[in-house]
Amino acid sequence: MAVSSSSSSSVHQVASQSLWSTVNPKTMPHLVSFSGLKQVVDNTFETPKVRVLKQKMELLGISLENSCLPGQYHNLFCPKCKGGQLKERSLSFHIISDGEFAMWRCFRVECGWAGQSFADDKDLYSGDCANAKSYRQIAEESLGLEPLGAKLVAYFRERLISEKTLRRNAVRQLSDNKAVIAFTYKQNGLLVGCKYRTIEKRFWQGKGTEKILYGIDDIGQASEIIIVEGEIDKLSLEEAGFQNCVSVPVGAPGKVSSKDLPPIEKDTAFQYLWNCKEYLDKAVRIILATDNDPPGQALAEELARRLGRERCWRVLWPKKDEFNYFKDANEVLKYMGADALKKIVDDAEPYTNAN
Ligand SMILES: [Zn+2]
């Protein structure tokens, strides 16, 4: 039984970086039992139900590849629109954890193909449908997510993030480990990824999450956008009145690359930018509010050289005391308040390469 290879495909491990620790799913069974690993061990993937679903999907042109575990969402190629010009993996696909049925929806607005199919011989239903809401609920429940409980609400309150902001951004927790925050990544309202964070600042993420900006639906119509370096910084800016903000999904690079920009298809570390290009292209002003440390500065530079320096602005984090500067949006919110954070962002300066 190929448990190890299956588990590595179901939980994408974050590359080890300064703030990011690699999580070995096998040493943290209590944290990953929701994710389908248990089912892998039980061999549910091979159940007759899943085999039936797989065959039905193939008839519809949905290729499940090898990674379609029940209880997880997957981003697949949509057979209807083929992902448009950018060839996005736009089909959010999900088999519920008991293998009873599969459901899918293409998050490209131009397409929106959706349907569901049962493992037993109930009628196959496929076509446009208006049940995005139930898809959303089922996908979240099946991933083992639930609304934040008192403990994590208090954790965020300490960071001056309100329940209103948490609700609007659909921040959740794991139902079987109530100390794990789940940042839901959505596109056109559909769950396309999820990043998990323990109170001790350990991170890991569902497969595909590294491919999209967090909060992308908030910049759909924005001509001015803000890019931050973490989900909590996005929530912090919302407290200061800015909803037109997205966070990068992965940590900052150690340093600015000395090489020329790679072609888009080889620019793997920044796929999330290219995948969101249609959104970013609309922005005439992009405020970079990355962390005030060397990796944060390197990230700002890497973003600016891809987005075009001429439309980039840079937030300058103020001094905390004689020797230190504030590190990020949440720190400013906590120590200086929402109005001060708003002013600091409003006072962003035209981007110049500091390196
Ligand atoms: Zn489609």
pLDDT for position 346: 97
Residue 63 CA to ligand 1 centre (angstroms): 13
Cα(142) to ligand 1 centroid in Å equals 23
What pLDDT shows up at residue 342? 98
pLDDT(266) > 50: yes
ipTM for the whole complex: 0.96
Distance, CA 127 to ligand 1 centroid (Å)? 11
Average pLDDT over residues 225-232: 97
Non-local CB neighbours of 176 within 8 Å, separated by 6+ positions:
30, 33, 34, 144
> What's the one-letter identity of residue 299?
L
pLDDT tens-digit series, residues 88-133:
888 988 888 788 888 888 888 888 888 888 877 543 444 444 444 4
Half-sphere CA count of 328, side-chain side, radius 13 A: 22
Q: What is the pLDDT of residue 48?
A: 78
How is residue 39 written in tokens? 């089912």
Q: pLDDT band for 354, please (50, 70, 90 cuts).
A: low
Supply the pLDDT for residue 16: 30
Quick one: how far is CA 30 from the chain centroid? Answer: 22
Q: Higher-confidence residue: 51 or 128? A: 51
Task: Show Cβ contacts of residue 260 under 8 Å, excluding neighbours closer than 6 positions.
Answer: none
- Residue 226 Cα to ligand 1 midpoint, Å, equals 29
**21-30, 139-148, 227-236, range with the lowest pLDDT:** 21-30
CA of 74 to the centre of ligand 1 (A): 14
Give the pLDDT confidence score for residue 122 in this predicted structure.
47
d(CA 145, CA 160): 23
Rounded to the nearest whole angstrom, what is the distance from the C-alpha of residue 79 to the centroid of ligand 1?
Answer: 7
Distance 110 CA to ligand 1 centre (A): 7
pLDDT at 134: 54
CA 186 to ligand 1 centroid distance, Å? 16
User: 180 CA to middle of ligand 1, Å?
Assistant: 33
CA distance 138 to 140: 5
Mean pLDDT check: name the lowest of 10-14, 43-47, 286-290.
10-14
Q: pLDDT averaged over the chain?
A: 80
pLDDT of 214? 96
Structure tokens at 75: 């981003």
Q: Kindly write down the DSSP assignment for every residue of 63-105, as one continuous string.
A: --TT---TTSEEEE--TTTTTTTTT---EEEEE-TTSSEEEEE
Distance from residue 181's CA to the centre of ligand 1 (Å): 30
Tell me what pLDDT residue 228 has: 98
Measured distance CA(69)–CA(278) in Å, rounded: 30
| Mean pLDDT across 1-30 | 33
If you measure from the C-alpha of residue 283 to the centroid of ligand 1, how many angstroms do you get, rounded to a whole number? Answer: 25
Is the predicted pLDDT of residue 10 greater than 50, yes or no? no
Proportion of the chain above pLDDT 70, given as a percent: 79
Q: What is the mean pLDDT of residues 84-89?
A: 87
Structural domain spans, the chain: 1-211, 214-355
pLDDT for position 187: 84
Can you count the helices (H) and strands (E) in the chain?
A: 13, 16
Residue 88 CA, ligand 1 centroid: distance in Å: 9
pLDDT value at 61 more than 80: yes
Is 25 a residue whose pLDDT tops 60? no
Ligand 1 center to 38 CA (angstroms): 31
Q: If you measure from the C-alpha of residue 91 to the centroid of ligand 1, how many angstroms do you get, rounded to a whole number?
A: 6
pLDDT in the model for residue 57: 85
Residue 291 · residue 314 · CB < 8 Å: no
In this predicted structure, the answer to whether residue 19 has a pLDDT above a threshold of 90 is no
Instruction: Pick 132 or 233 by higher pLDDT.
Output: 233
Residue 24 has pLDDT above 60, yes or no: no
What is the DSSP track for 287-320? EEE--SSHHHHHHHHHHHHHH-GGGEEE--PPBS
Q: Is the confidence at residue 39, as pLDDT, over 90?
A: no
> Beta strand 190-198 with 203-206: parallel, antiparallel or unpaired?
antiparallel
Helices (H), the chain: 3-10, 29-32, 37-42, 48-60, 132-142, 150-158, 163-168, 231-239, 271-275, 277-281, 294-307, 329-336, 338-346
Above 80 in pLDDT, residue 289?
Answer: yes
Domain 214-355 part of CATH 3.40.50.300: no
- In tens, the pLDDT along 242-258 reads 999 999 998 778 888 88
How is residue 34 annotated by DSSP? G
Which candidate, 73, 90, 48, 183, places its Cα nearest to that of 138?
73
Q: At residue 35, what are phi and psi to the nearest 5 degrees?
A: -85, 0
Q: How far is the CA of 286 from the centre of ligand 1 (A)?
A: 29
CA of 76 to the centre of ligand 1 (A): 10
Among the listed residues 94, 20, 89, the one whose alpha carbon sits nearest the alpha carbon of residue 50: 94
CA angle centred on 10, ends 202 and 250, rounded to 5°: 40
Find the 152 Cα to ligand 1 centroid distance in Å: 36
CA 92–ligand 1 middle distance (angstroms): 10
Task: Please measure the distance between the N-terminal and C-terminal CA atoms of the chain and give it in whole angstroms.
Answer: 51
- pLDDT reading at 280 higher than 80: yes
| Ligand 1 center from residue 192 Cα (angstroms) | 14
